[in-house]
Amino acid sequence: MFRNLNTQGMRISNQGSEAIELALTHGFKGIDVDILEFKEQVEKKGFDGARRLLKSAKLKFGSFRLPIELTTKPGAFKSELINLADIAKLAAELGCKRSVLSLVPFHDELPYHENFEQHRERLNEIAGVLEPHEIRLGLEFHAPKNLREGKAFEFLANLDSVLTLIQMVGSSNVGLCLDPWQIYVGGGDLEKIRGLPVEQIVCVQLADAPADQPADSLQEKDRLLPGETGTVDLVGTLRMLQEMEYDGPITPAPDWSHLRGKRLESLVRDMGSALDRLCAEAKSSDAPRSELYEPSA
């Protein structure tokens, strides 16, 4: 596995020179891609011009977010699906083979079972578009209760329900965006991840939680730097991933509201140091000789 940087929320381009310089300076081996921004750059500069900085930096690619909505009206979804084919081709040419799609934990019109079936059908269609380009899709869920309050119909908001959806979709390139913070807030059992083929763990996002608040009261703004309190078992997560021989990105994913006022240089350094500490602790005496992840130096 490798330490990966996502600059979303930093108000800088995810693949611009500043983000790349920060990643290289602080030992990150990969970076997430804003695929729509990259597409715009391709239209302006051509493919080689758009990827020049990324290629010269020799960074790996973490993941990119799919520009498609699972809860939109049928006509709009079909249009987005058509556009997705070009996006997938572009991402594959760049070499970014992992994608993420966020699940909305409610619906204002569809009851749970109808929404579930719509998600199953649409995810199968999306998987079919991505599969020829060997792109995997990781589903990201959101567990905080406040996101579902006042909504007509609640939807997938815990690990068990998302794993059921993945199983029902049945496409080998659809898996999980593993986020132990969401599993903790949703009351899930992290050990259930061991039942997944490692290929279905598409990417990993890490954040800690306050030690003095009940899990079911937490909100997205309560995502702390990885390892800040030790409330979320991130060390156990990394050990499990090591045992499973996961080889993808591990990305620090705190909520940026906790980090306002910090210089970008300090922020990225702190995130890298947090990953270093967690990974050092996760290395057990009986670990294989290979590194848990590529070291920062």
Please answer whether residues 7 and 14 qualify as being in contact, where contact means their C-beta atoms are separated by less than 8 angstroms.
yes
- In this predicted model, what pLDDT tens digit does every residue of 14-48 receive, in sequence order? 677 889 999 999 999 999 999 999 999 999 999 99
Q: pLDDT band for 288, please (50, 70, 90 cuts).
A: very low
Pairing of strands 106-107, 98-102: unpaired
The string of DSSP letters for 193-225 reads: GGGS-GGGEEEEEE-B--TTS-GGG--GGGPBP
Q: Tokens in use for 30?
A: 């990969």
Domain 2-282 coded CATH 3.40.605.10: no
3-state secondary structure of 137: strand
Q: What is the pLDDT of residue 291?
A: 46
Q: Tokens in use for 187?
A: 């009351």
- In this predicted model, what pLDDT tens digit does every residue of 95-104 receive, in sequence order? 999 999 999 9
Q: What is the pLDDT of residue 26?
A: 93
Q: What is the pLDDT of residue 284?
A: 58
3-state secondary structure of 52: helix
Which residues, including other chains, have CB under 8 Å from residue 249's CB and lie 6 or more apart? 1, 2, 3, 4, 30, 32, 60, 62, 63, 98, 203, 204
Average pLDDT over residues 186-198: 94
Average pLDDT over residues 1-18: 83
The structural domains of the chain, with segments of one domain joined by +, span 2-282
pLDDT higher than 90, residue 186: yes
Q: What is the pLDDT of residue 206?
A: 98
Model-level pTM?
0.93
- In this predicted model, what pLDDT tens digit does every residue of 102-143 receive, in sequence order? 999 999 999 999 999 999 999 999 999 999 999 999 999 999
Count other C-beta atoms under 10 Å from residue 7's C-beta. 22
Q: pLDDT band for 261, please (50, 70, 90 cuts).
A: confident
- In this predicted model, what pLDDT tens digit does every residue of 198-218 receive, in sequence order? 999 999 999 999 999 999 999
Q: What is the pLDDT of residue 262?
A: 78
Q: How many angstroms separate the CA atoms of 58 and 46, rounded?
A: 19
**Which of 44, 43, 32 minimizes the C-alpha distance to 7?**
32
Q: Tokens in use for 129?
A: 């578009």
Please answer whether residues 157 and 141 qualify as being in contact, where contact means their C-beta atoms are separated by less than 8 angstroms.
yes
